[in-house]
Chain A
Amino acid sequence: MQELLFQLATSKTSWLAARQAAVAANIANINTAGYRSVDVKPFTELIDDGMLNIPNPSTDDKLLGSSPASAVTAKKGWEVQQSGNSVSLEQEMLKGGEIQQDYALSAGITKTFHRMLLAAAKA
């Protein structure tokens, strides 16, 4: 049970890091002609596909070693400019904010859970 929660939080943070890398690539290429914005696959989809190293309690441990960063897909942005560039700065900034919040949540959960484990061990 404990491993499951820690692994879920770790997968989520590494997924968020991959998403941050996608946002960084989009923003770096904001003035590149013909560049198409990219995004990572949604986290729930990755869990459903069994692409994360999360042991499934019902079946056995299945460790398909595929990092979430490999699941980068070209995504349709809000607008496509004349130059063929589909990066929207506003959209990327929103994504950045989301990533920050979710990362703080994951880190907070990990921290709290670790404190709970320590409290149980000390008691």
Chain B
Amino acid sequence: MDALQSSIAAASSGLEAQSKRLRIAAENLANAQSTGATAGADPYRRKTISFQSEMDRSTGAALVNVAGIEADQRPFELRFDPGNAAADSTGYVKYPNVNPLIELADMREANQSYEANLQVIKQARDLISMTIDLLRSNS
């Protein structure tokens, strides 16, 4: 395949990966206060996402895809709240191991990388249209 087409393919795989990352950050942020339903139950566990580089055989482009979505094994945060339905016998409630600041920073980075990939697509499109413009007569 044409190199410009394969660069668009690589950039769109980047868009997809970054939007998945944004989704994971949004899920974490949305569930930042999700405790368990029964007494002493585990709350929402933070998810992490990792990427890997993958060679696309048909285009020869180094695409990116999601290597896996794992659970963050860091300990939960304990808060004393005896009135809560999820409180254990000692009155402590397990809250998710989500730090909203980290999620916001992650969202920001995903946003930036998404924009960079979009810019690559725009540039490749400009190059293609410059080539097509060679065919235009007297311009």
B-contacting residues of A (Cβ < 8 Å)? 13-14, 16-18, 20-21, 23-25, 27-33, 35, 38, 69, 89, 92-93, 96, 99-100, 103-104, 107, 110-111, 114
Contact = CB atoms under 8 A, between A and B. Distances in A.
B87 interface: no
A28 B119 contact: no
A18 B3 contact: yes
B132 to A, nearest CB: 10
Interface of B is mostly: helix
Contacts of A30: 14, 113, 116
B116 A23 contact: no
B3 to A, nearest CB: 4
Contacts of A110: 134
Given A28-B13, A32-B53, 16 more contacts: A20-B120, A21-B3, A21-B6, A23-B7, A23-B120, A28-B14, A28-B17, A29-B51, A30-B113, A31-B21, A32-B52, A89-B116, A93-B116, A107-B131, A107-B134, A111-B133
A55 B66 CA distance: 45
Interface in B1-55: 2-4, 6-8, 10-11, 13-14, 17-18, 21, 50-53
A12 B104 CA distance: 43
A92 B14 CA distance: 15
A27 B62 contact: no
Contacts, number: 105
Interface size on B, as a range, is: 35 or more
A89 B14 CA distance: 14
A20 B117 contact: no
A68 to B, nearest CB: 9
